Amino acid sequence: MFGRLLWKLLRSNRGRLAVALVAVTSGATVISALLNVQFDVERKLTQEFRALGPNVVISRGSSGQATANQPAPGVAGSPALMDQTPVLEQIERTRTPDVVAAAPFLYIVAHAGETPVVVSGTWLDQARLLNPTWKVEGSWISSRDDEAQCLIGRNAARQLALAPGGQLDLNYGDQHAQLRVAGVIDAGGTDDNQIFVALPVAQKLAQLPGAAKQIELVQISVRGTGAGIDRYAAQLASALPGYDVRPVRAVTEAEGSLLNRTRLLIASMVVLILALTALCVLATMAALAMERRKDVGLMKALGGSISRIVGLFLAEVATLGAAGGLIGCVIGVALARWTGERVFGASINPRWDVFPLTIVLMVAAALAGALPLRFLGRVKPAVILRGQ
C-alpha cells in the first residue's frame, strides 16, 4: 500500500515535481563533476608542476649554492664539488616509484672558439625526463654516456651559428673536445644559454681525476604533493649526512598553495550548490503542501497517523533526490571530462565512489528542502471535510 501511494503521489503533480527534479539533477551534475575533479585534481596538478622541471637538489653542504637550472660553474678541486659514487648509490637505494628521473651535473665555463659558453655535464638520457617541457629541433640523445654528441640551447646555438648535425669544438684550459650537435633545445629559460654534454666529457675538460669522478649537484624530479616531496627530501637527507638536500621551494610551495585553494573553492561551490538546490526544492514543496491539505485531511480522517503521512511525503522527496542524484552523476562524469580537458589538457578519470556520495548529498538537500511538509501534520480533518 505504501508503495502504491508513493507512486500515485509521484504521478499526481508531475509538473511541479519535474521542476524540482530538474533543480536536483542540475545540482547533482555540477557537484558530481566538482567531486570528480576534487579527487583527481591532486594527480593533475602534480603532473602540471612536474613539467616545471627538477624539484629536489643535492649539493655539497652549505658551500653548494647552485639551484636547479641555475648553475654556478665549478672548478676542479673546488670545495663545492663532491664525489658522485656515494651520492648516486644512495639515491638508488632510497629510490621510490615517485622518482621520475635523477641526474648528476657538473658545470664549467669553456670556450667555443673565442666565445665563452656554459657547459653542463650530465646524464643525457635523463634530460628529457627531468625537463618534459623542453622542445628539441633535431633528436634527443638516448645514451647516458654518449661522448660524441651534445645538446645545445637555442640562444647558444644562435650565437655560435650551429644547427643539428653541426660540429662543436670546446676548449677548457689545455683540454679539447669535438662534438656533434644532436639537437637544439628550446627550454624557455636559462638552459637556452647552455651546452649539455655527457658527464665524462665535462669531467675530462675540467681535468678532474679519473679515480674521483666529481660533480657539483644532483637534480631529481619527484612526483607527489609538496608534503610528499618534503618527506622524500628529508629521507634522502638522513641517508646523506653532510650534504645539502633540499626541495625547490618555489615549486613545492606553489603546488601546495594552489592545491589547497582549489580544494577550498570546490568545497565552497559544493556547499553553495546544495543550498541552492534545497531552496528550489523548498519552493516546490511549499506549493505542494498547500495543494495537498485536502489529501492529508482525508488521510487523517481515515485513521492515518501523522508519522506515516509525513513519512510518505518525505519518501517522495527522497525518491526525487535519489533520482536526480543518479541522473546528475552520469551527466557529471561527462562534465568532469570536459573540465579536465579544458583546464589540465587531460580527461578526468571518473571515481565510482562519487556516485553514492553525490546521491546521498542530493537526498539530504531534498529532505532539507521538504521542511514545509512538516506543517501538514497540523491540518485538522474536520476543517478540511467542511471545505474550509
* Higher-scoring residue by pLDDT: 287, 195: 195
pLDDT confidence band for 178 (50 / 70 / 90): very high
3-state secondary structure of 17: helix
* Higher-scoring residue by pLDDT: 68, 157: 157
Distance of alpha carbon 191 from alpha carbon 127, whole angstroms? 11
Residue 349 reports pLDDT greater than 90: no
* Higher-scoring residue by pLDDT: 33, 45: 33
- Supply the DSSP symbol for 214: E
- Supply the DSSP symbol for 243: S
Distance of alpha carbon 348 from alpha carbon 337, whole angstroms? 5
- pLDDT at res. 65: 39
φ, ψ at 79 (rounded to 5°): -65, -15
Residue 70 reports pLDDT greater than 60: no
As beta bridge partners, residue 218 has 58, 104
- pLDDT at res. 37: 79
> Which range has the worst mean pLDDT, 188-202, 232-246, 273-287?
273-287
CA atoms within 13 A on the CB side of 39: 17
Mean pLDDT, residues 256-279 taken together: 82
Distance of alpha carbon 362 from alpha carbon 313, whole angstroms? 16
* Residue among 121, 185, 198 at smallest CA distance from 158: 185
- pLDDT at res. 323: 87
Residue 347 reports pLDDT greater than 50: yes
Q: Which residues contact 5 (CB under 8 A, 6 or more apart)?
A: 312
pLDDT confidence band for 105 (50 / 70 / 90): very high
- pLDDT at res. 156: 93
- pLDDT at res. 121: 92
- pLDDT at res. 69: 44
- pLDDT at res. 283: 78
Distance of alpha carbon 126 from alpha carbon 111, whole angstroms? 25
Distance of alpha carbon 353 from alpha carbon 351, whole angstroms? 5
DSSP element (H, E) containing 213: none
> Which range has the worst mean pLDDT, 125-134, 231-240, 275-284, 308-317?
308-317
- pLDDT at res. 365: 85
Place of cell 618534459: 132
CA atoms within 13 A on the CB side of 64: 23
* Residue among 212, 285, 288, 227 at smallest CA distance from 259: 227
Mean pLDDT, residues 61-87 taken together: 57
Mean pLDDT, residues 44-70 taken together: 60
Mean pLDDT, residues 167-177 taken together: 90
* pLDDT averaged over every residue in the chain: 78
> Which range has the worst mean pLDDT, 71-80, 117-126, 177-186?
71-80
Are 214 and 62 in contact, with CB atoms under 8 Å apart?
no
Q: pLDDT for 364-385, tens place per residue? A: 888 887 776 666 656 555 555 5
Residue 157 reports pLDDT greater than 90: yes
| Domain extents in the chain | 2-47+256-385, 55-247
Place of cell 664539488: 81
Residue 289 reports pLDDT greater than 80: no
φ, ψ at 61 (rounded to 5°): 55, -155
3-state secondary structure of 79: coil
For residue 67, how many other CB atoms are within 10 A of its CB? 17
Are 194 and 120 in contact, with CB atoms under 8 Å apart?
yes
Distance of alpha carbon 217 from alpha carbon 109, whole angstroms? 16
For residue 354, how many other CB atoms are within 10 A of its CB? 23
Distance of alpha carbon 314 from alpha carbon 272, whole angstroms? 23
Please report which residue ranges of the chain form alpha helices under DSSP H.
2-12, 14-50, 84-93, 127-130, 154-160, 199-205, 226-239, 249-291, 293-301, 306-343, 354-368, 381-385
Residue 275 reports pLDDT greater than 90: no
Are 128 and 134 in contact, with CB atoms under 8 Å apart?
yes
Grid cell digits, residue 142: 638516448
Grid cell digits, residue 232: 622524500
pLDDT confidence band for 192 (50 / 70 / 90): very high
pLDDT confidence band for 122 (50 / 70 / 90): very high
pLDDT confidence band for 73 (50 / 70 / 90): very low
Give percent of the chain with pLDDT exceeding 90.
19
